Each structure stands twice: as C-alpha cells, then as structure tokens.
A and B are shown apart, each in its own frame.
Chain A
Amino acid sequence: MRRVAVTGLGVVAPLATGAAAFFDALVAGRSGVRVLEHLAHGATVVPIGAAAQFDAAAHFAPARLRMLDRVSQMALVAAAEALAQAGAALEGAKETACVCVGTGMGGAQATDDGYRILYAEKSERIPPYSVLMAMNNAAAAWIGIDHGLGGANLTFSTACSSSAVAIGEAFRRVARGECEVAIAGGAEAPLTVGTLKAWGAMRTLAPADASDPAASCKPFARDRAGLVLGEGAAMVVLEPLDRARARGARVIAELAGYGLCTDASHITRPSVEGQSRALALALADAALAPEQVGYMNAHGTATEANDAVETAAIRRVWGAHADRVPVSSTKSMHGHLLGAAGALEFVAALIALERSVLPPTLHLDHPDPACDLDYVPLAARAVARFEATVSSSFAFGGTNAVLVARRARGRTGGSRNGMEKSTQQP
C-alpha cells in the first residue's frame, strides 16, 4: 500500500469561503449561526442555521447556474480551490483521477422547489433540469466534468459520515494504486424549508438561544439542546506521498488512517461500542498510539445522546491518556453540515495540525459531568507541534468513520512550525 499525501484543501462554509479564511474564523471564535427569517414558513419557531458565506453569482454565469443546485455550486468552488492549491497534481493523471463526494441529501433545494411548484403553487411546471439538479451524484459528476477526471466518480451517502467515508474510500483507492490523484470531500445544502421542517420534526434541532442565537449550538455543555444545521462544501486533493514529493508539491499532511464500522443496532442512537471501534480501527490503520494524537476534531453534535457517548468512546480508546488529548467540536461555530461535516472538520483538523493551533468548542460555559474531557473550551489554543490529528464522524444509520492524519516529514513536508501571520492569536 502506498502512503498518501494531502496536497490541496478547499472550503465553502459558514464563516468564510476559502480554507485558510475559514480556519482563521474558527480560531477567532466566531459563530456562523444565525436566525433564518427567510426560511420561516407558517412557523411558530423561527429557524436558525449556519448559511455559507457564498455568492454563487460571483462564480458562475447565469446559464450555468440554472443547471446547478446550491450543493453542486459549493462543491465545485471548493474543488477548484483544492485543485488550485495542489498545483500540477492532475498533470498526466486525469484519465484515472477519481472523485469521491459525500452528501446526505443531494440537491435538496431543487427537490424543495419542485414540490413547492407542484403542491403549493398547484402547477405542473417543474423545471426541466430538476432531476439533474437533485440527483445525489450531481456534485461529483460536475467536478469530474469541469476538470476532465476519467477515473471512478463516486457518491457516498451515509448521512452524517458521508464525506468522511468519501475521503476514506478515496484514500484507499490512492493507496492501492487505482489512481494517482483523487479529489474527495463532501457538500450539503440543507437550508430549505422542507429540510428544516423534517429535521425539526425529529426534535433534534436546538432552539434559538434566547439571548444570543449565534450561541445556540453548545457541544458537550450541560445546557446543550441539539444540533444546528449548516451548509457548505469541503474538498481535499489526495495523491501518493512519493509522487507529491517528487513533483515538489507542498504536502499539507499525510492521510495515515481510516476507520470504518457500523453499529448495526439502532437507526439513530449512537453507541460507545461502535464509535470506539471506529476510533481504534483508524489508529491501528495509521499505526499510531493514542498518545501521538495531539488534537481531535470531534463529531460533537450537541445532542444529548451523542456528546456523552462520544466522550465515553474516546475514554475507552485513549484510556489513561484521554485527559491529555484536546478534543473540540467546531460545530459550535459552523453548525452541522451533515454529509459535508466530515470533510469540513477534517480540513479544520489538518490546518490545526499544520499551524499548531487548536480551534475551540464555543459556548461551553456550563460543563456537563458526563462530558469530562479537555474540549478546548471558549477560546483557541496555541500548542507545541504535535504528531497526529483525528477527525470523527458518526451517522444516523450507524456508519462510523474516523480519519487520521499525521504531520508530513521530509524535505517538502508542510510541517511549518508555529502560526501563520493570518492566524489570530487565541
């Protein structure tokens, strides 16, 4: 099996478009959660969510926009950023280059619009591109078309672990030699009336915080009240480490491990057994000991069930070292991007590894006795260089996916010490 490098990152997210700007906002402790007045629909409760800082018209001509659901728009922009950062990654590799995208809901806006026209407006004038916009593999397909990538073009849909699975499966393909380059990540655009209503019906959404709606998502806190939906896309470029070094690419990190397993027990309830198994599998795959992990980006949804279970799972795997590994949930700032969450949070973990700065868990003013790890509460933290980082994603349906990245070494390794100028001091 070949070692795999990450050589490009791309982000469209709440808080910022652009991976570096996004991470700066996390370190600054900004929240992208807002009241979404325009999505209130006969509602007694006005919805909240984290909308992406993204103006599609700045990226696409009007004729193109008519064919692209918001999920594909954001995926394309994130992919373009990642490929631009990776430089000449695609040179001589397009024919087998692979695209792996995770999404839970695909073109949710196109679906929502179609139903509105049909049932609310009582019209039969469904836009002719509706199928092409709504289909789950649209984002991956457009990335392949725009960049001429002729290898496997795959879409993974495992709810909230979709994009962690997409990155993990792309990692395997590169490691096995099936392709020389993969672009992998996720995209989700769930801020539609119908999607918000459906999630609201599950009673998993946090109500707006009475004094500050931006503080509504409180992972690991005693007063946590549920998740907040967010939208965006995040992509990474993967290629063999040797190839990246040979072509002089900047290696951001080595993608070193992937753990995948399924609870096979309950459609929503998380399990310590399943989560800890995925964490242990990922560490073993990376051949790393728990104490080598210097930062973990948790799944940390801020639901009652997940955060306590996840804490217990980390304790089970990290053992005596659990109190010394910083774990944060950046969902407190960007919300839960569902199928795109794993990719966005993996990007945050990679930049944390590269800069030796840990993004915080915001709004953790009231600790929960059942959640007793070091969650990097309230403010970012500058730390000494560390070896490896973990990003966890656990999903409805029970698919648990964990990614492990380690600091790249060697002459072209991207292991710059300290913080970059643009990083705000915590």
Chain B
Amino acid sequence: MTTLERLAALLHKEFGIAAETLLPEATLESLDIDSLRMLEILFSVEEEFAITVPGDHGELKARIKTLGDLAVYVDDLLSPGADSAP
C-alpha cells in the first residue's frame, strides 16, 4: 500500500470522507478539511505512520494544499534522516 492509499483509507474510515473523492489532486478545501479538522487528521496520521508532525503551522499550510501534498509530506517524514522520531 502506498502512503497515498493508506491516507485515503484512513480519511475514509475515520473521517467518513467518500472514497471516490480521495484523489491525489483533491484539495483540502474540496474535501471539506478545514484547519480544525486538519489538526485531528494529523493526530491520526501520526499514529498511523508512527511519525511526529512538527508543530510549524506556517510550513504545513504552505506545503499541504492537496491530498497528494499530504502524502509527499508524510513520505518526507518517513524517509531516512528525517526528523521523525516518535
């Protein structure tokens, strides 16, 4: 399972987002993910991938506009050398 597939499964199962809308190019806005919901999603993502998302909201907002962006961001945290110590 790719990171994108795992993210899509998580968002569908835990947040009730329709599976067919969970495409890489889908914007957070189109998925009805506001900043508050994003906090809860990141909390779940941390558990699912055993990573720690740094608390820099500015960077998160700038980097993550779509589901694909989120997958890339998670992959970066998972890659060796990343600051992903739980």
Which residues of A are at the interface with B, using a C-beta cutoff of 8 A? 61-63, 66-67, 125, 127-129, 132
Contacts and interface: CB of A to CB of B under 8 A. Distances in A.
B15 A128 contact: no
A61 B17 CA distance: 11
**Most central of B15, B42, B46 by chain A CB within 10 Å:** B15
Nearest to B13: A62
**Interface residues of chain B: helix, strand, loop or mixed (majority):** helix
A127 B39 CA distance: 9
A62 B16 contact: yes
24 contacts: A61-B16, A62-B14, A62-B15, A62-B16, A63-B14, A63-B15, A63-B16, A63-B17, A63-B37, A66-B14, A66-B40, A67-B40, A125-B43, A125-B46, A125-B47, A127-B40, A128-B39, A128-B40, A128-B42, A128-B43, A129-B36, A129-B39, A129-B40, A132-B36
A127 B43 contact: yes
Contacts of A125: 43, 46-47
Interface residues of B, number: 12
Contacts of B36: 129, 132
A250 B59 CA distance: 56
A125 B14 CA distance: 18
A65 to B, nearest CB: 10
A128 B17 CA distance: 19
A127 B43 CA distance: 7
A140 to B, nearest CB: 19
A129 B36 CA distance: 8
Given A63-B17, A128-B43, A129-B36, 4 more contacts: A62-B16, A125-B46, A127-B43, A128-B39
A211 to B, nearest CB: 46
A-B pairs, top 3 by smallest CB distance, nearest first, are A128-B39, A63-B16, A63-B15
A226 B43 CA distance: 42
A66 B17 CA distance: 14
A129 B38 CA distance: 11
Contacts of A67: 40
B11 to A, nearest CB: 10
Contacts of B14: 62-63, 66
A23 B15 CA distance: 37
Nearest to B15: A63
Contacts of A132: 36
Contacts of A63: 14-17, 37
Nearest to A132: B36
A54 to B, nearest CB: 21
Contacts of B46: 125
B2 to A, nearest CB: 23
